[in-house]
Structure 1
């Protein structure tokens, strides 16, 4: 059981379906190549006793539902939260100047969770690097 738990924690599908809101707020199901995200993942070493027990009946196997149960429970565990601050971020890479503008608006916007001071937001914004511009300098 421990092997299966460890394996499930680190896998991610390369391709699949994903729910996404369109410009009008309607939910659409789209086909997605998850490898395109090029994301880094933090996978904490968790105590299985802190996570919910998964009881699955034959007719009720839903990978997305099970994934949400585990994902939602990770922040409630003692080792599940990755704590870092603005000072820990060295660079933020985006592909285009247009995406830099979107990211700046996002950083400056009001968001849930820990609030950043205006100075912390400015520091984050100063760390944004645009790949297209760096590529031209080579």
Structure 2
């Protein structure tokens, strides 16, 4: 007969699966109120093409170094509320625009797991794992040209792209609009949603050697906007999995409340209103 002490009921098991050293919410922040309003109206988050610096992998394509890749993704941070100000705001000491914006949505982490979001791997430039990834990428770089894919190696191609899309150096450069900032990426505890673009017109990735246009902001914006038209790339939201709605100030809150009253039932609007967090107020208590 099984000892009752060895039996864990479903309720206790759920508690074991809660996060204790990290947040139970994943946060996605934006730089503009309009982005947040659009996401709430459409009840969706929309991946965008993001420049990723890959100099740490020492990639070479036909004698030219690949420094940047352009990859579609949605980025989230796994940071407890009281530490979010360092992620959201800009660097007050240096005056650099390092923050991701004071507008955002916090989503239930367990739901995010079910939707396939994945914590990324942080790579130490001095580690053998990083060297091996660079070697594999260099050997298969020809496969990474989306216009010259060898169908017989398609699974290898997909694996390489996925590994790159879910990896980042411990520290490095990040593009903010047209400027570059130095970041400690490991502090961001990042998770990503990578849309499935199979059968769609949007490219899975581009690099700065074969497509130097990716370094131009208007080009990246056009690609991201075009991907928004592909509905299968969206991360569809449900009211019950939204835990927080971040706005910068009281005026922003009023605009969100107006949008909720116009686009949701009274009950839904009231439920959503209780989730609004005003950054200017709460940051003083973090």
Distance 1:13 1:72 in 2: 24
- Structure 1 86/99 Cα, relative in aligned 2: closer, same or farther at 3 Å? same
Unaligned runs of 5+ in 1: 1-5, 17-39, 54-60, 111-115
Report the equivalent of 1:58: none
TM-score by length of 2: 0.27
Distance 1:99 1:93 in 2: 9
Task: Say what the alpha-carbon RMSD is for the aligned residues.
Answer: 3.6
Give the drift of 1:121: 0.9
Distance 2:202 2:249 in 1: 41
Distance 1:70 1:137 in 2: 39
Give the counterpart of 1:46 among 182, 197, 205.
197
Matches within 5 A, 1:5-16: 7-10=70-73, 14-15=176-177
Higher strand content, 1 or 2: 2
Q: How many residues align?
A: 95
TM-score by length of 1: 0.50
Give the counterpart of 1:105 among 258, 261, 266.
258
Deviations 1:77-96 (A, max 9, x none): 4xx23222110010111121
Matches within 5 A, 1:96-135: 96-110=249-263, 116-135=264-283
Where 2:243 maps in the other structure, the secondary structure is coil
Distance 1:66 1:117 in 2: 34
Unaligned runs of 5+ in 2: 1-68, 74-164, 166-173, 179-190, 204-212
Q: Which has the larger radius of gyration?
A: 2
**Larger RCO (CA under 8 A, 6+ residues apart):** 2
